[in-house]
Amino acid sequence: MTEGITHSFRTALRLSAAGAFALTIAVSVWMLVTSPGGKTADCATAQQMWTYYQSQLASARSAALKSNGDNDAIAVKYQTMLNELQAYANRVTTPDLRPRTDRIVAINREMFEQWKRWVAQSQAPSPDSATPTSPDTQFGNQFAANARKLKLAQAELEAACST
């Protein structure tokens, strides 16, 4: 009987020790990812991500004017930029920042799909390709809607980083 009680006591002790250890690990990990240092680093990554995004847009504009204007080559650059944005987003681990960086990537992916549709519709022969066409107006509206979402996501990210 005494031996049975001792065994139960030992088991309870082991379980409570294991639970305490697991809790310690979990708390440590949580503290690590939410520590001021981790968030600061993630905010810096988010800032780099936005700077990179804007530099790629400027680069794509000037390259399109200088080159022979190959839409396939532009699409490759667009895809490369998306991959790079995703890589930046993957480096962000702070729980309240990561969804926002992922959202910025997702909006850009949607804009890429719209851009591809704009290209496809615009290449069809038209009486006058020098002036705006119906696909231009349609894409312009979609572009503005997504630009607005992008601006909002970026503002939320900045706000999260400033608190």
Partner 1 sequence: MTLTVADIDRWSAEAVREVFHAGTARGQATFEASRQLSTLSVFDSWQGATAEARKHTNASIRQDLDNHGNESLMVAQAAGSAVDGIEHVQSELRTLRHDAAALRMTIDSSTNKVVPDSTFNGPPMEALIAERQLQPRLDAIVVEANTVDQELATAINMADGDIPVPLTFPGTPLGAPPAGHNAASGQWQLDSSRGYDSPNPPEGPFAPWRPTNLSEKLATGPSTGLLTTDKTGLSDTADGFDLQQGYKIRITGGQDTGITKMVQGSDGKYYQARWIENTYAMQTTKVMQGTGDLGGITGYPITMPWKPVSLNEIANTAALYPGKTFYLPDGCGGIIPIVNGTLPTPTVPVMTAQR
**Min dist. Cβ of residue 88 to partner 1 (A):** 17
Cα–Cα distance, 92 to 150 (Å, whole number): 18
- Which backbone phi and psi does 66 adopt, to 5 degrees? -80, -40
Beta strands in 39-110 (DSSP E): none
Told to check if 148 binds partner 1 by CB under 8 A, we report yes
Q: Which is nearer to partner 1, 20 or 60 (CB)?
A: 60
- Of 4, 58, 83, 162, which lies in the binding site for partner 1, with binding defined by CB under 8 A? 58
Told to check if 134 binds partner 1 by CB under 8 A, we report no
Told to check if 52 binds partner 1 by CB under 8 A, we report no
Three-state SS string across 109-155, please?
Answer: HHHHHHHHHHHHHHCCCCCCCCCCCHHHHHHHHHHHHHHHHHHHHHH
Told to check if 150 binds partner 1 by CB under 8 A, we report yes
Told to check if 22 binds partner 1 by CB under 8 A, we report no
Pair 33, 93: CB distance under 8 Å: yes
Told to check if 105 binds partner 1 by CB under 8 A, we report no
- Of 4, 5, 54, 83, which lies in the binding site for partner 1, with binding defined by CB under 8 A? 54
Helix axes 71-90, 98-122, angle to 10 degrees: 170
Binding site for partner 1 (CB under 8 A): 54, 57-58, 60-61, 64-66, 69-71, 74, 77-78, 111-112, 115, 118-119, 122-123, 125, 129-132, 136-137, 139-141, 143-145, 147-148, 150-151
